[in-house]
Amino acid sequence: MKYQYLAREKELHFWVVEEGKHKHLIYSDVGVNEVDDAVREMKERLDEDYRRQNEIEAHNR
């Protein structure tokens, strides 16, 4: 996961690769003091999605 904060636009952009596909996600109206929390939240969300996908794949075997 890569991310970039655009202060003027107050946007936090994320680039994620999942299942070989590139995704571009945007958090809008993010203040400079909220960037660290938003990045941490996104990492947790991606980790949870990854765990859930692995559980589904293991169950289907």
Pairing label, strands 2-6, 21-27? unpaired
* Closest C-alpha among 60, 49, 4, 58 to residue 30: 4
Mean per-residue pLDDT for 29-56? 95
Range of the domain at 18: 2-60
Mean per-residue pLDDT for 21-35? 97
At 2, list the tokens: 């890569």
- pLDDT value, residue 57: 87
Task: State the pLDDT confidence band at 41, using cuts at 50, 70 and 90.
Answer: very high
Please tell me the total count of domains within the chain. Answer: 1
- pLDDT value, residue 19: 80
- pLDDT value, residue 14: 98
Task: State the pLDDT confidence band at 7, using cuts at 50, 70 and 90.
Answer: very high
